[in-house]
Structure 1
C-alpha cells in the first residue's frame, strides 16, 4: 500500500469523522479509501458500460396511474435475465415502493433503470450500481465473521 498525506480543513475533517463513524470504518484511511473508490466509480473515464454489474433500482410510483403497474410488470418480465428479485411495499393507499435487484451489463442495466424511472407515474427513482466480475461472483468467499462461511451459486 502507498502512504499519502493530504491536508483537509476542519469542516471537511469533521464530516469525514462523521462518515467514518456512521459507516463503521476502523480509521480514517479506511473511510478515505471507501470514498475514493466510490468517487472513481462515478467518473466517465472509469465508466465501462460493458462491465458486469449488480444493481439496486429503487423507485416510488403511484399505482393508480393508468396501466402503470401492468407496464412495470411487463418491463420486468421482458428483462427476466436481468432481474434477480423485487421487493414491493405499499407506502399508502396509492403509493408503492419497489426495490429491484438487477444483474447484467452495466449499460443495459442503466438503460432498463432509465426506462423504469422515466415511466409516467414514477415519482422517484435511483439506481445504485456495483461493479461485479462474474468469475469473482461465482467463486466461494469468506465473510469477516468466520461463522458465515459459505459459497454463492449463480441462478
Structure 2
C-alpha cells in the first residue's frame, strides 16, 4: 500500500467527513479508497474501456397505465439476452417497483434501460453500471 498526500479545500473536507460519519467508515482513508474505486469503475464504463457490465435497473411505474405493462414486457423480451432476473414489488394500489439485473455490453445495457425509463408512466428510473473485469487480466471481477 502506498501513502499519498492530497490537499482538499475546507468545504470538500467537510463533505468527506460527513460521508465518513454517515456511512460509518473507520477513517477518511477507507472512505477515499471506496469513493475512488466507485469513480474509477464509472470512468471505465463511461469511457468504453469495459466490454461487459452488470446493470441494476430499478424503476417505478403506474401499473394502471394503459398498455404499459405489455410494452415493458415486450422491451425485455426483445433484449432477452441482456436480462438475468427481474423482481416485481407492489408498492400500493397504483404503483409497482421492478428491479432488473442486466448483463452485457454497456452500450446495449444503457440502451435497454433508457428505453424502459423513458416510457410514459414510468415515474422514476435509475441504472447503476458495474464493470465486469477479466479476472485473468488481474482485475478483481464482479
Superposition TM-score, scaled by structure 1 size: 0.76
1:118 aligns with 2:118: yes
More displaced, 82-91 or 108-117?
82-91
SS in 1 for 2:130: strand
1:49 and 1:106 in contact (8 A); partners too: no
Q: Which moved more, 1:85-94 or 1:4-13?
A: 4-13
Change (3 A) 1:8 1:28: same
Contact 1:41–1:47, Cα closer than 8 Å, also in 2: no
Q: Which has the higher contact order (CA 8 A, sep 6+)?
A: 2
Q: Which has the higher mean CA deviation after the structures are superposed, 61-70 or 33-42?
A: 33-42
Asked if structure 2 preserves the Cα contact closer than 8 Å seen for 1:40 and 1:46, the reply is no
What secondary structure does 2:34 align onto?
helix
> Structure 1 residues 45 and 65, CA, compared in 2 at 3 Å: closer, same or farther?
closer
Change (3 A) 1:69 1:49: farther
Structure 1 alignment gaps of length 5 or more: 142-151
Cα separation, partners in 2 of 1:22 and 1:85, compared to 1, 3 Å: farther
Give the structure-2-normalised TM-score: 0.82
- The residue number in structure 2 matching 1:144 is none
After TM superposition, the structure 1 = structure 2 runs for residues 39-58 of structure 1, keeping only pairs within 5 Å, are 39-43=39-43, 47-48=47-48, 51-58=51-58
Q: Decide whether aligned partners of structure 1 residues 49 and 81 sit closer, same or farther in structure 2, where only a CA change above 3 A counts.
A: farther
Number of aligned positions between the proteins: 138
1:59-98 superposed matches below 5 A: 59-98=59-98
Q: Distance in 1 between matches of 2:67 and 2:78?
A: 16
Aligned equivalents of 2:115, 2:46: Cα separation in 1: 23
Deviation at 1:79, TM superposition (A): 1.6
2:100 aligns with 100
